[in-house]
Amino acid sequence: MMSEGKKEIVDIIDAGMMGYQEAWDLQTALHQELVSNKRAGYPVPQHHYFIMCEHPPVFTLGKSGSEDHLKINEQERAAHQIEYYKINRGGDITFHGPGQLVGYPILDLDLIFTDVHKYVRSLEEVIIKVLQKYSINGIRSNRYTGVWVANDKVLDEEKKICAIGVHLSRWVTMHGFAFNVNTNLSYFDHIIPCGISDPNKSVCSLSSLLGKDVNLQEIKRQIATEFGLVFDLNKRFIPLESLNQFTFKT
């Protein structure tokens, strides 16, 4: 466990625009690195990573999701140039694409805190803190994960601005959150987002709420700051190229 008074360090990587398969391969390699070091009894200090990136258009289906929530077929996806992956995170189907900030923490929670519920709530808290900087009240739903924004004029109507789906193995995390910043929301018309068919539950983006696009690099800086504060970690920014020991698929 973490020594009293000493913070763990998280390496923050801005990966820019990255294909989904490449990002998944990177996560898997880093996850295996952490698990192997743990199994060996921590012969070297454990690394924690936090990858931030955008993806080209892609639908991903979590292990508990239903393909019935994908409303277009393979030919239609090809026509719209949308990829599709079945993956090992929790949750149902969601969309990733340009203008959406995706965050992938690869953390050894044995050295931070061993509480899955707290972990998910902490990811939500990071986004809620960033939304506050734009005078937006991000809230949690009683029934669903993620961060939502309530409609003050319509009772019980909420729009999801950030989806969360995680996977843990030996208390090492994978996957994470998808924060709609400048996302083209029309892609969500092709799915039942997160498998939620409630007409009072839909999606939104930061730009749709503000009526203008937002500087994504500024959002990344704000996310990194709040991530360090919420998880009580010291941050270290490293370039993607420093991870060139891993072989990525294209």
d(CA 216, CA 100): 9
d(CA 86, CA 147): 23
Whose tokens are 């992938």? That residue is: 104
Structure tokens belonging to residue 33: 């690195």
Angle (nearest 5°) at CA 125 between 243 and 62: 65
d(CA 154, CA 167): 34
d(CA 104, CA 210): 26
DSSP-H helix ranges across 86-165: 116-132
How many of the other CB atoms lie within 10 Å of CB of 73? 9
Catalytic option among 53, 162, 194, 204: 194
Residues 4/42, Cβ–Cβ less than 8 Å: no
- Answer positive or negative: Cα dihedral of 6, 47, 175, 169: negative
Structure tokens belonging to residue 124: 């939500």
Is there a catalytic annotation at residue 162?
A: no
HSE at residue 238, side-chain half, CA atoms within 13 A, is 16
Q: Which residues contact 226 (CB under 8 A, 6 or more apart)?
A: 125, 126, 129, 130
Question: What letter would DSSP give residue 186?
Answer: G
Catalytic residues: 194
